Every structure is written in structure tokens, then in C-alpha cells.
Amino acid sequence: QVEPLLFEIGRYETTGVDIDEPEAFAPRLGGMERTGEIGLPGLSEPEAMRHYVRLSQKNYGIDSGLFPLGSCTMKHNPRLNERMARLPGFGDVHPLQPVSTVQGALELMQELARYLMTLTGTQAVALSPKAGAHGELAGMMAIKAAIEAKGEGASRRTVLVPDSAHGTNPATAALIGFQVKAVPAREDGWVHVEDVKAALGPDVAAIMLTNPNTCGLFEPQIVEIARALHDAGGYFYCDGANFNAIVGKARPGDLGIDAMHINLHKTFSTPHGGGGPGAGPVVLSERLAPFAPVPFVRQGASGLELVEHADEAGEAQPFGRVTAFHGQMGMYVRALSYMLSHGSDGMRRASEDAVLNANYIRAGLADLMSQPFGDKPCMHEVLFDDTWLKDTGVTTLDFAKAMIDEGYHPMTVYFPLVVHGAMLIEPTESESKASLDLFIATLRDLAMAAKAGDRDRFVGAPYHAPRRRLDETRAARSPVLRWTPPAPVQEAAE
């Protein structure tokens, strides 16, 4: 059944919220009263419930099945964490209440910071960034501030970014005025220290490197790269999107990073929610720690304090503020709940299982599907390219869409850009062996069908989904970004 748009079923006079009109009073709006229809139809509560429940039924989530989106880390979202985030003492607290009335909230932030620093081997953390890309921004701002503090602001304006990086990396660097310089990809999928050294110079402010990288590989020369950067007076920004592969196994601080954002919604399982909210705390090395933005929590004489202004920061030199309040408290609670539940042993084990699961898929598919860098161990995600689809008339996209008909969410496709027709599969540690076995069998079956020339199964896919393949070109060519009332039927001229 088709579910209409709210605007097609709602009515201007209907409301699903009862509240009494106020007693008569003299408004004090200074002549600024809104007039005319706002254009917002309402639904009664039963109608609204059904409308959104039915919409949800057109969606696919982790709870529906395997969701192997590489780089996105779709792991189980424990409902304990949802419950904890809704405790009134967390969910119903205002960011500008007197600090004496939010000591527990500040304690939680401090505890979260301690966990993040311990797991990453770093000396500071800026909690407030609202998502991964925002964490990148904060981290790169800290680097810029540190460079400026050394008087090198005018000269160090280049940031090195490998071609395989997430798009957020160059976008972030450009946003605050850095020049982006590419580091080429090598045939083995790794960044080589010689290439970095060749690009280094007195103009280089930093490198932005993802580790494990977007090809699902750990960068084996990372320590040397960090050293080279530091020797050249630059900073090492690490994109932490894939930190989930090594939590409890290795500490980025030990590897030499200066700043790394952590996607709490990936690594520590605060749910993705169809595109957020996330949270992107950024951990900082000792060199960058003084430049962390406000606000931050500090132990004071009579309890925990919140430093909200640069001039209260003591010896620190915060580079400024990146958001109105203290960041994503709701996500902090969920992430800490996840970390407490797993414990140090469980988090280490989770990383191991994530890597094990990815390699198990690799082992199950390696004979049928091609890997761009050869068949070698991967981290938490395994990358295939489309060489094996050559001459089948089936593209990576077709293959992905055919997976939908088998009841699976597709993997990440066409990313990283450096690999032709990339298919990046991340099962996460949340999948059982039985689930992986079924997934592997299904993909093998599909792969053999593609090779056998059953093209229709792919190019027309999906056949069994709430919608057939959607026309994205049309959407972009003549964008319709909002509902508008249908034009009234023209009355016949008299």
C-alpha cells in the first residue's frame, strides 16, 4: 500500500495535541503577530501513529538483517543505552542550569573522556563536536591554532590527504583555508612513508590519514609516517572512522597521532538513526591539548566545573567554540553505557570479532570476487572491486541492488574512489557465524548468477522492495524539495 504524504492526508484544523487555550490576556508581540495559514496540516494521534509506523515499515535497519555498509559500522544498538539516555537526570537537564545542579552530567563527561583517552593513549579530548566531520573540523582547528601559536600560520597552509580518504577530510581542510595536496594511492592499498616524505615541506601543516584505512587495511608504516610529519614540523590528524577495528588492540596515541575524532555512533554504537545524530569527540596529543575548544570540564575546588570562556581557561589557549552548548550528551550516555557493558575485555574482543568476521567473509568469497590489493588479511572490512564483473553486463550498483531482493542491505559501493567499482563489506562483530554463512552463501549464489549471464536478475533489481530503482538523475535535474499544493483545477471559462 502506498503511504501518502502527511500533506495529502492532514487537515489544517486537526491537531493531535490537546491543550487548553489560555485565558484571555493582552499579547505583547509588538505588532509582530503571524497572519495567514502557516501551511502545516495536522493529524490526530491515531492517524499520526499509523502514518509513521507505516513509513517505518518501508525502511531497513540493523534489527531487520545484516547491514554490511563498509566504513559505516552498523553494529548492534543495545536498548539499555537508549534507556539510560532517557533517565530524567540526563535527558531532562538544561545545558545552562547552574553547574551545582549538573554534577552528575559533568561526571559522566569526565568519565567518558577518561575512557576515550585511555583507549586511544592520548592526553586530552574535546567532547563537543557534534559528529565525525565536526570532530575533524575541531581537530584541524586545534592544529591550525597550534601552528599559529608557533607563528607559522602564514607559512604552513598545506594539508596532505590520500586519494582514498573520506570526502569529509579534504572538505574539512578546505573549510578552514588549507590547501589540499593529494598523496597518491599505491598498488598495495597502503600509504608509503616515502610518498609522504616527498610531499613534506615547511608548507605542510598536517596529514589527514585514516587508519585502518578506507580499503580496510591497517597502515603498516604509520609510525614512520607520524615520525616524518613530526620531524618536518607538521601534525598528524587521524580519521578515526575505523577505530572500531583496533579498540583495545592498539592505541593511536602510541602510533604517533596528534588528533583523531571518534564517531561514537560507529565505534561505540550510539545508533545511526537514519543519518544521525552522531557525536565526534576528538582526542588530542599533549602538543595539541592546550588548544582544545570551550566548553570543557575541569575539577574545581567545590566540585566539577565547566569552563565556558577562554579567559577562565587558565594556562590553556582554547581556539574558540564549535557549538552552542556542550555537545551530544545523549550520545555520551549511550557510548559510556556501551563501554561499561563491554569493559576493557569486551571492547578488545569486539574488535577482534569484527576483524575475524570480515576476514571470514573474505575467505568465503575470495575465489569468486576480485580484491584490488590481492588476497591478504583485512581489518574490520573487506574490499572487493569489479574486475570480476567484467563482461557480465552487471555493474557494482546492479549487484548491490540484487542483494536487496535477497533480503540484505547492500554493502558500501563505489567507495573508496581509488578502487574501480568498489564494494566495501563491513559485517561488524554483531553477526553470528550462522548469519555470515548465510550471507556468504547468498553472495556466492549471486556472484555465480552474474557470471552465468543472468543479467536480468541484476539490472532490473530490486524487484522485491518498497520501490523499484529510483531515478536519481531526474531528482537532481529538476529538484522538487518540498510538497506544494496541487494547482487547483481551472474552472472552464464562461
Partner 1 sequence: MRYLPLSDTDRGEMLARIGVADIDALFADVPKAMLLDGPVDLPRRKSEMEVERILSRMAGRNVAAGSVPFFVGAGAYKHHVPATVDHVIQRSEFLTSYTPYQPEIAQGTLQYLFEFQTQVAALTGMEVANASMYDGSTGTGEAVLMAHRVTKRRKAVLSGGLHPHYAEVVQTLSRMSGDAVVAMPADVMADEDIIGRIDGETSCVVVQTPDVFGNLRDLTAIAEAAHKHGALLIAVFTEVMSLGLVTPPGHMGADIVVGEGQSIGNGLNFGGPYVGLFATRQKYIRQMPGRLCGETVDANGERGFVLTLSTREQHIRRDKATSNICTNSGLCCLAFTIHMTLLGQAGLTRLARVNHANAVKLADMLAGVKGVEVLNGAFFNEFTVRLSRPAAEVVEALAERGVLAGVPVSRLSPGAGLDDLLLVASTEINTDDDRAALVAGLKEVL
- Given 57, 103, 118, 179, the residue binding a copy of itself (CB under 8 A): 57
Say which entry of a copy of itself, partner 1, none residue 265 contacts (CB below 5 to 8 A, set by partner kind): partner 1
Nearer to partner 1, 92 or 494 (CB): 92
Interactions with a copy of itself, residue window 22-51 (CB under 8 A)? 44-47, 49-50
Residue 274 region by backbone torsions, left for phi larger than 0, else alpha for psi between -120 and 50, else beta: left
> In this structure, are residues 402 and 457 in contact, taking their beta carbons and an 8 Å threshold?
yes
Say which entry of a copy of itself, partner 1, none residue 391 contacts (CB below 5 to 8 A, set by partner kind): none
- Given 63, 187, 345, 471, the residue binding a copy of itself (CB under 8 A): 63
Nearer to a copy of itself, 81 or 213 (CB): 81
Say which entry of partner 1, a copy of itself, none residue 368 contacts (CB below 5 to 8 A, set by partner kind): none
Please spell the DSSP secondary structure of 236-284, one letter per residue. EEEEGGGGGGTTTT--HHHHT-SEEE--HHHHT----TTT------EEE
Say which entry of a copy of itself, partner 1, none residue 154 contacts (CB below 5 to 8 A, set by partner kind): none
Shortest reach from residue 339's CB to a copy of itself, in Å: 14
Nearer to partner 1, 218 or 388 (CB): 218
Nearer to partner 1, 77 or 285 (CB): 77
Nearer to partner 1, 215 or 289 (CB): 215
Nearer to a copy of itself, 188 or 352 (CB): 352
Say which entry of a copy of itself, partner 1, none residue 460 contacts (CB below 5 to 8 A, set by partner kind): partner 1
Residue listed under C-alpha cell 600509504 = 191
Looking at the DSSP assignment, which residues form a beta bridge with residue 126?
282
- CA gap 218, 210 in Å, rounded: 9
Shortest reach from residue 451's CB to partner 1, in Å: 23
Contact between 54 and a copy of itself per CB under 8 A = yes
CA distances from 26 to 20, 31, 32, 35, 228 (A): 17, 12, 14, 17, 70
Say which entry of a copy of itself, partner 1, none residue 278 contacts (CB below 5 to 8 A, set by partner kind): partner 1
Shortest reach from residue 402's CB to a copy of itself, in Å: 15
For the chain, state the CA radius of gyration: 26
Close Cβ partners of 442 (under 8 Å, ≥ 6 residues apart): 403, 406, 408
Contact between 64 and a copy of itself per CB under 8 A = yes
Write phi, then psi, for 440 (nearest 5 degrees). -60, -45
Nearer to partner 1, 390 or 480 (CB): 480
Shortest reach from residue 376's CB to a copy of itself, in Å: 29
Interactions with a copy of itself, residue window 66-95 (CB under 8 A)? 75-76, 78-79
Say which entry of a copy of itself, partner 1, none residue 151 contacts (CB below 5 to 8 A, set by partner kind): none
Nearer to a copy of itself, 77 or 214 (CB): 77
Say which entry of a copy of itself, partner 1, none residue 326 contacts (CB below 5 to 8 A, set by partner kind): partner 1
Residue-wise burial string across 123-150, b where 16 or more C-beta atoms lie within 10 A, e elsewhere: ebbbbbbbbbbbbbbbbbbbbbbbbeee
- Say how many residues touch a copy of itself, by CB under 8 A: 27
Please spell the DSSP secondary structure of 171-234, one letter per residue. HHHHHTTPEEEEEPPPTTS---HHHHHHH-STTEEEEEEESS-TTS---TTHHHHHHHHHHTT-
> In this structure, are residues 67 and 61 in contact, taking their beta carbons and an 8 Å threshold?
yes
Instruction: Identify the CA nearest to 267 among candidates 295, 304, 240.
Output: 240
> In this structure, are residues 355 and 430 in contact, taking their beta carbons and an 8 Å threshold?
no
Nearer to a copy of itself, 78 or 277 (CB): 78
Within 10 angstroms of residue 122's Cβ, the number of other Cβ atoms is 24
Nearer to partner 1, 477 or 494 (CB): 477
Say which entry of a copy of itself, partner 1, none residue 1 contacts (CB below 5 to 8 A, set by partner kind): a copy of itself
Interactions with a copy of itself, residue window 332-371 (CB under 8 A)? 341
Say which entry of partner 1, a copy of itself, none residue 33 contacts (CB below 5 to 8 A, set by partner kind): partner 1
DSSP helix/strand/coil, 126: strand
> In this structure, are residues 311 and 298 in contact, taking their beta carbons and an 8 Å threshold?
no
Shortest reach from residue 182's CB to partner 1, in Å: 10
Q: What is the separation of C-alpha 328 from the centre of its chain, rounded to a whole number of angstroms? A: 14
Nearer to a copy of itself, 211 or 337 (CB): 337
Q: What is the separation of C-alpha 396 from the centre of its chain, rounded to a whole number of angstroms? A: 23
Site string for a copy of itself, 406-435 (x = CB under 8 A): -x----------------------xxx-xx
Shortest reach from residue 407's CB to a copy of itself, in Å: 4
> In this structure, are residues 207 and 183 in contact, taking their beta carbons and an 8 Å threshold?
yes
> In this structure, are residues 68 and 409 in contact, taking their beta carbons and an 8 Å threshold?
yes
- Where on the chain is the footprint of a copy of itself (CB under 8 A)? 1, 9, 18, 44-47, 49-50, 53-54, 57, 62-65, 75-76, 78-79, 341, 407, 430-432, 434-435
